[in-house]
Every structure is written in structure tokens, then in C-alpha cells.
């Protein structure tokens, strides 16, 4: 039996990154509730919030591009 440590680590990295993306979606995006309850977010324009949330969404696209180029 051959040990494929590289493949196992790579698969674990992909799995954990997918979990991280789900976490960022639930914890880093600015919600309407955030804007209503946090003075810092309340002072930001709708364009700022839209751009900030788009950057979080962009993480998914970056991962997909990396996965297509370097995936199994």
C-alpha cells in the first residue's frame, strides 16, 4: 500500500476551504441587521456594503478558478 500524503492533504485543504467559504458567507457578509444594530456599518453607504459583500462572494470564484487549474 502506497501512502499518498500529498493527495490526502490536498483533499483536506479543499474540504476545509469549502467549509471556510460557507463560514465567511454566514459571518463576514454585512446584513441588514448589522446595518441596523452596528453604528460603524450604519454609517456605510449601500454601495460600500454591496462592494464588501461582493468581495466575500469573490472568494468563492477565486477558489473555483484555483480548483479548476490545480484540481484533481
The pLDDT of residue 71 = 74
The pLDDT of residue 22 = 95
Q: Does residue 57 surpass a pLDDT of 80?
A: yes
Dump the DSSP string for 48-61. HHHHHHHHHHHHHH
**pTM for the model:** 0.78
Residue 52 C-alpha cell reads as 464588501
Gyration radius of the chain's alpha carbons? 17
pLDDT tens string 24-49: 999 999 999 999 999 998 889 999 99
Amino acid at each position: 500500500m502506497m501512502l499518498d500524503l500529498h493527495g490526502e492533504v490536498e483533499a483536506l485543504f479543499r474540504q476545509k476551504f469549502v467549509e471556510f467559504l460557507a463560514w465567511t458567507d454566514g459571518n463576514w457578509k454585512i446584513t441588514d441587521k448589522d446595518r441596523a444594530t452596528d453604528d460603524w456599518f450604519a454609517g456605510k453607504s449601500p454601495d460600500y456594503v454591496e462592494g464588501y459583500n461582493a468581495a466575500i462572494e469573490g472568494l468563492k470564484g477565486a477558489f473555483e478558478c484555483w480548483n479548476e487549474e490545480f484540481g484533481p
